Amino acid sequence: MGKTYIRIDDRLIHGQIVVSWAGTLNIKEIIVIDDATAANPMLKQIMLMGVPKSIKSSIVSIEESNPLLQNEVSHNRLIILRSPIDLPKIIPSVETLDTLYLGNIQKNSESIYNLSSGGGGVLFFSQKEIDVLDELHQDGVNIILQMVPQSSKRTWEQAKKNFHK
């Protein structure tokens, strides 16, 4: 049985995902779950163009994702979401979750916490997002803040010590 990794990255599919994360985690399937992108055929096509043909890839809505995620697979897969807010909608369908990686999350009107690191990481969270991540962490989900596999990583516990508004 393969492992499932989740990455929160508001850029969705980009070079770091395809070049660094896919290789390091031995990813054979990428599933982007984002309602807006799934509803835009041109944007879907552009995003999927950067994924090598050797990696199965799809961009689906949250509603479309649950049956897809419930399928048992023998390979490693990476699920990419734009925000932690959508995690409670998909986590029940993910049986083999190994690690939740927090990547790039731009500041928005609801952001009050800045967990950006000095190494180029952009991580801004709303209280709702923090609450979702705290609950998942309490449920035993391994949460890591890391831009690329070669960069330093912080655990959720380490990151929370550095919360500042």
Residue 84 clears pLDDT 90, i.e. is over it: yes
Bridge-based pairing of strands 56-60 and 27-33 is parallel
- Helix segments in the chain, DSSP class H: 15, 22-24, 35-38, 41-49, 62-70, 87-90, 127-138, 156-160
Measured CA to CA, the distance from residue 62 to residue 53 in angstroms comes to 24
> Domains in the chain, please, with CATH?
4-104+127-151 (3.40.35.10)
Q: Give yes or no for residue 21 having a pLDDT over 70.
A: yes
pLDDT for residue 29: 97
The pLDDT tens digits for 88-144 are 999 999 988 989 999 888 888 888 888 776 555 688 899 999 999 999 999 999 999
What is the pLDDT, as a whole number, of residue 162? 73
Specify the 3-state DSSP secondary structure of 149. Answer: coil
- How many angstroms separate the CA atoms of 155 and 84, rounded? 16
Q: Would you state the pLDDT for residue 114? A: 81
**pTM (predicted TM-score):** 0.93
CA distances from 65 to 19, 24, 60, 91, 116 (A): 24, 24, 6, 11, 29
pLDDT in tens, 30-67: 999 999 999 999 999 999 999 999 999 999 999 999 99
165, pLDDT greater than 60: no
What is the structure's pLDDT at 105?
87
Query: Which parts of 59-100 fold into alpha helices (H)?
Result: 62-70, 87-90
